[in-house]
Amino acid sequence: MILEHTDITRDYKETVDVVIIGSGCGGATVGKELAAAGHNVLILERGGYYTASRGDFDQRSDTMMARIDGSRGLGTSSNGELSLMYGNCVGGASVHYWGDSWRLPDDRAQDYADMGVKHHDSDVLAPHFDRIEKDLNIHIHGPEYFNRMNQLFDKAAGELGWHVEGVPQARKDCTGSGHCFQGCSYDAKQSQLVTYIPAFTKAGGRIFADCHVEKITTDSTGAANGVDAVFLNRETGTPNGYKLRVDAKIVVLAAGGFASPLIWLKSGLPNGSGQVGKNLLCNPNPYLYAMFEEKITLWENVPAATGTSDFRLAKYDASGAYLEGGYLLHPNQIQPEFLAVTVPGFGAEHRELMNKLDHLGSVVSWIDDEIGGEIRLSETGEAIYDYTLQGIDMLKARDAMKKRAELLFAAGAYDIFVPDLAGTRIKTKADIALLDTLDLSGGNFLFAAPHPSSTLCMGEDASKNVVASTHEAHEVPGLFVADPSVFPKGPSVDPSMTIMAWSYVATQFIQQKLAQRTL
């Protein structure tokens, strides 16, 4: 059962075994498993419930950003440097992600273990990844799904001596519509909306959509015992006058790397480590575009069916100085509406680019950032996202942009556009050196921030970490966290599968706790 804002005409009081805040990769996975085990589980989702069968996914960027994005595509960091990207709908960010689905690399799992995380080694996660890949039909697409940018990427990378490989995709019967970011109109992308959410409700789980959690509550011992929430008017995003009280044995926080620390802070939960909201990482992606003589049409077929991981790990010289790498490189896919916002220029200059939009190509890079920002509350309780690209992360961003420029020229581009305030153009290979000194500071250049993580870090030392390796909060018994905010650092690939695999681990410990707790 899924109740939406139009179904709510009264206050609700619920008593359940488990209440889960968030319905994305973490919340849906935990919910599905617990409901299948016979537990009474309620998921609360701040966003709305949208389906392809009702025609909700109309492939219009303006409509869909308002429906499924947490800030309607308008949220930024405090300095204007990051464009915040996160889900706000049943199914969470998986509804508007591309469908790229990697297992956590073994080297990153070892990094986590070295940072104090237990119970999440590669051999522990392997059976969970096996199951996820089967459930979400994850596979490598054939060349029939390559758009022109994918084809040119492979050709150019080969000329540069870079290894390319197919990117695992969570898709079934894909039509190649090219509008994956707006939510799949054909239910082909195997998001949580069409996989684990239906499995959850079939097993008896319930979802309240358009439900904003105001506070996680605790009992006299400090243990989590439920949530207070309000229902929202979907059209205005404001409370509709009806409230919800949930009493629960277990509370699971799965609202994502941006939202989970905010809920924690607004609830006034203990923060003895001082790390709640700290260490914000987000895989910042610097934009870069190029003009081609031939038609590219970025908004066709699968976004990134191919790519290279040659540069996933950063490389250093014998003295420890940075050389290159620390990011993924893939073909980019971006729709005309987003291109209109992010290509450089104003007036006639901008119009000239828009008239040639189908000749515009692009390559995307996700920076494996290391220097975290912070999510905090203002004096009036508003969310503030502090983040500045700096140090090693700035070096990675510049190197990634230079590698992308090299590839775009090798692919046949004759003019490269940097979407900075100065409108920098790169017309020759020699001009690529301009990227070493380009002003990328806040407001001069915009980075997409698609993968927030690490804001409620996991580790066994309670003085330095928020969450234990069991996913239970160190200072709040009965509160578990199942989303990327627990990652000690980013997984260096798209996080969706890692979130799900870790959530399977979390579920095992939640079940153990359920056997001990009563209301």
pLDDT at 70 over 80: no
What mean pLDDT comes out for the span 148-164?
A: 97
Instruction: Indicate whether 274 and 220 sit together in one domain.
Output: yes
Q: How confident is the model over 340-351, as pLDDT tens digits?
A: 877 877 888 888
205 within domain boundaries: yes
Instruction: Indicate whether 328 and 210 sit together in one domain.
Output: no
Instruction: Indicate whether 364 and 231 sit together in one domain.
Output: no
86 within domain boundaries: yes
Instruction: Indicate whether 276 and 307 sit together in one domain.
Output: no
Q: Whole-prediction pTM value?
A: 0.96
Instruction: Indicate whether 130 and 149 sit together in one domain.
Output: no
377 within domain boundaries: no
Instruction: Indicate whether 299 and 416 sit together in one domain.
Output: yes
**185 pLDDT tier (thresholds 50, 70, 90):** confident
Last residue of a domain, one of 418, 439, 460: 439
What is the domain-level CATH number for residue 317?
3.30.410
Instruction: Indicate whether 199 and 165 sit together in one domain.
Output: no
CA atoms of 501 and 125, how far apart (whole Å): 6
Instruction: Indicate whether 414 and 515 sit together in one domain.
Output: no
* Predicted local distance difference test score (pLDDT) of residue 65: 76
Residue 350 burial by Cβ neighbours in a 10 Å radius (0-12, 13-18, 19+)? middle
pLDDT at 226 over 90: yes
Burial 129-156 (b: 16+ CB within 10 A, else e): beebbebbbbeebeeebbbbbbbbbbeb
- Among 271, 264, 101, 82, CA closest to 172: 101
Last residue of a domain, one of 413, 439, 465: 439
* Predicted local distance difference test score (pLDDT) of residue 316: 96
What mean pLDDT comes out for the span 116-121?
A: 97
Tell me which of 339 and 150 has the higher pLDDT.
Answer: 150
pLDDT at 83 over 90: no
- Worst-scoring range by mean pLDDT, 1-5, 67-71, 320-324? 67-71
146 within domain boundaries: yes
pLDDT at 519 over 70: no
116 within domain boundaries: yes
491 in helix, strand or coil? coil
What mean pLDDT comes out for the span 93-104?
A: 92
**69 pLDDT tier (thresholds 50, 70, 90):** confident
* Predicted local distance difference test score (pLDDT) of residue 421: 84
What mean pLDDT comes out for the span 102-107?
A: 97
What mean pLDDT comes out for the span 322-329?
A: 97
Report yes or no: 353 and 417 within 8 Å, Cβ to Cβ.
yes
320 within domain boundaries: yes
Q: How confident is the model over 203-213, as pLDDT tens digits?
A: 999 999 999 99
Tell me which of 178 and 207 has the higher pLDDT.
Answer: 207
Structural domain that includes position 41:
1-137+184-284+452-519
Instruction: Indicate whether 431 and 493 sit together in one domain.
Output: no
- Among 166, 172, 167, 168, CA closest to 190: 172
Q: What percent of the chain has pLDDT over 70?
A: 99
Question: Alpha carbon 414 to chain centroid distance?
Answer: 33
* Predicted local distance difference test score (pLDDT) of residue 150: 96
Residue 107 burial by Cβ neighbours in a 10 Å radius (0-12, 13-18, 19+)? exposed
Instruction: Indicate whether 121 and 154 sit together in one domain.
Output: no
Instruction: Indicate whether 401 and 347 sit together in one domain.
Output: yes
Instruction: Indicate whether 147 and 267 sit together in one domain.
Output: no
DSSP string, 220-237: TTS-EEEEEEEEEETTTT
379 within domain boundaries: no
- Among 296, 297, 290, 306, CA closest to 407: 290
Average pLDDT, the chain: 93
How many domains would you assign to the chain?
2
CA atoms of 519 and 509, how far apart (whole Å): 18
Tell me which of 469 and 516 has the higher pLDDT.
Answer: 469
Tell me which of 333 and 72 has the higher pLDDT.
Answer: 333
* Predicted local distance difference test score (pLDDT) of residue 86: 84
What is the domain-level CATH number for residue 79?
3.50.50.60
Q: What percent of the chain has pLDDT over 90?
A: 77
* Predicted local distance difference test score (pLDDT) of residue 464: 96
- Among 126, 71, 112, CA closest to 93: 71
pLDDT at 198 over 70: yes
CA atoms of 166 and 173, how far apart (whole Å): 18
pLDDT at 518 over 80: no
Tell me which of 60 and 119 has the higher pLDDT.
Answer: 119
Tell me which of 4 and 84 has the higher pLDDT.
Answer: 4
178 within domain boundaries: no
